[in-house]
Homo-oligomer: A and B are copies of this chain.
Amino acid sequence: MERPRHQGMAKNTYMRWRLPLTCLLWEVAMIVLFGVFVRFGPEADAHWEEEKREMNLTSDIENDFYFRYPSFQDVHVMIFVGFGFLMTFLKRYGFGAVGFNFLLAAFGIQWALLMQGWFHSFKGGKILIGVENLINADFCVGSVCIAFGAILGKTSPIQLLILTLFQVTLFAVNEYILLNLLHVKDAGGSMTIHTFGAYFGLTVTRILYRPNLEQSKDKQGSVYHSDLFAMIGTLYLWMYWPSFNSAISEHGDAQHRAAINTYCSLAACVLTTVAFSSMLQKKGKLDMVHIQNATLAGGVAVGTSAEMMLTPYGSLIVGFICGIVSTVGYVYLTPFLESRLHIQDTCGIHNLHAMPGLIGGIVGAITAAAATEDVYGKEGFIKAFDFTGTYQTRTPSVQGGFQAAGIVVSLLMAFAGGAVVGAILKLPIWGDAAAENCFEDDIYWEV
């Protein structure tokens, strides 16, 4: 049993020096590190003209800005407007939702460019960046936005920055293990983004358990217009999810597939969400919490397999199941996790990201294990799973095994990392609010 912390004690939430110093010092650190390490990649460097001549290229089509850039912008909208507004459903925490999400994401993308750069784009002592790095940085920060959902309303901005620093670091390590060491496919990040991000956040919120949180129960709900603001977030996430899952897929057939599969899964997910939202409520009325969140589970759950030959009906089945799992989770599991396991999950990320993320990892493993040259074609098969070089002898079933291993690694990283970071965030020096002041913008914002 945890013992009550800080009960009735006014906590020091004064940010005046702590927050500015953190922001300024960290940004200076970014500038120094960028100065030492980050340079333009060849497609963005003015020397491109020379490369073009040397490569005998006559047009800039080989260096097309509009290859991937529209995907980048869609993903960018998901991170800042999608996640930001999705969390504005709380009646008195709209500023914190949108504003802190903005802050942590703006810091996170810089740190992610470095961390992911060292692992993946490091050449001759420099990190060479291009549009694809910007997409990957947004992806990485997406996992932090997910974790933020679990602790929404209960942490100070400094805690969020610390969370971001550590989580981005661990994300990059986990991603490197999965993509480079295990040679796992995870285009839309069911494992690297959702499973890792969600279980990381859930572990952190477990460590930060607040026994007296019912003191701010009245503020943990929504009002009419805050629910409409949240729907802006929901719809942008839902609409652009096909862009998310296809953003870094191979040019050509894989990108088309990733978008179509995701589109199908999301469409099916809406119908089962509505069905179960109505069914699980005595009066048969729909619950905005479900519509705002569970409708998105279908996008999470095809994050690994979207670029594979999951097929449209396979995607519908995945979406069908995830709408149900996620809605049932909101009705039965969230209260259980809070009362029994002391996991206080403000946005219900367990239902939207954790379970669908796991399902996504499993669907990906199965789809990979079931791949045949018949379905993919000989070349398509090799290209889809990148069975070249060291991996040219890997079989689908072995790939399926490695995919499964990717899930386990992501979970272990999330639990271990979350426990450490949770412990750090529990130190009584970061200015988080007392239980009765949670979910209240007034603490950190001029209202």
Bound CA–CA A364/B378 (angstroms): 48
Taking the closest CB of chain B, its distance from the CB of A232, in whole angstroms, is 7
Q: Is the CB of A275 within 8 A of B24?
A: yes
Separation of A272 and B15 alpha carbons in the complex (Å): 14
Does A243 lie at the interface of the complex (its beta carbon under 8 Å from any beta carbon of B)?
Answer: yes
Q: Is the CB of B40 within 8 A of A252?
A: no
Q: Which residues, 68 to 104 on A, are CB-close (under 8 Å) to B?
A: 69-70, 73-74, 76-77, 80-81, 84-85, 88, 94-95, 98-99, 102-103
**In contact, A444 and B228 (Cβ under 8 angstroms):** no
- A47 interface neighbour in B254, B278, B377, Cβ under 8 Å: B377
In the complex, whether A332 has a CB less than 8 A from a CB of chain B is no
CB distance from A431 to the nearest CB of B (A): 9
Query: What are the residues of chain B within 8 A of A49 when measuring CB–CB?
Result: 252-253, 377, 379-380, 383
Is A340 an interface residue when CB atoms closer than 8 A count as contact?
Answer: no
List CB contacts (< 8 Å) of A287-315 with chain B. Answer: 287-288, 291, 295, 309, 311-313
**Stretch from A1-9, A29-37, A145-153 forming part of the interface with B:** A29-37
Which residue in chain B gives the minimum CB-CB distance to A272? Answer: B27
Complexed CA–CA distance, A113 and B268 (Å): 13
Interface contact B256-A20, CB-CB below 8 Å: no
Binds B, one of A58-66, A169-177, A181-189: A58-66
Return the CB mask of A210-237 against B: 1 if under 8 Å, else 0.
0000000000000011011101100110
Sorting the interface of chain A by its residue count into under 10, 10 to 19, 20 to 34 or 35 or more gives: 35 or more
Contact across chains for B107 and A228 when beta carbons are under 8 A apart? no
CB within 8 Å for A103 and B274 given contacts A228-B88, A283-B16:
yes
Q: Do A252 and B110 form a contact, CB below 8 Å, given A276-B20, A379-B50?
A: no
Q: Which residue of B lies closest to A270 (CB)?
A: B106
Which of A126-134, A190-198, A386-394, A415-423 touches B?
A126-134
8 extra interface residue pairs, beta carbon distance < 8 Å, beyond A30-B316, A34-B316, A286-B444: A16-B279, A21-B275, A23-B275, A24-B271, A44-B256, A47-B376, A73-B240, A107-B271
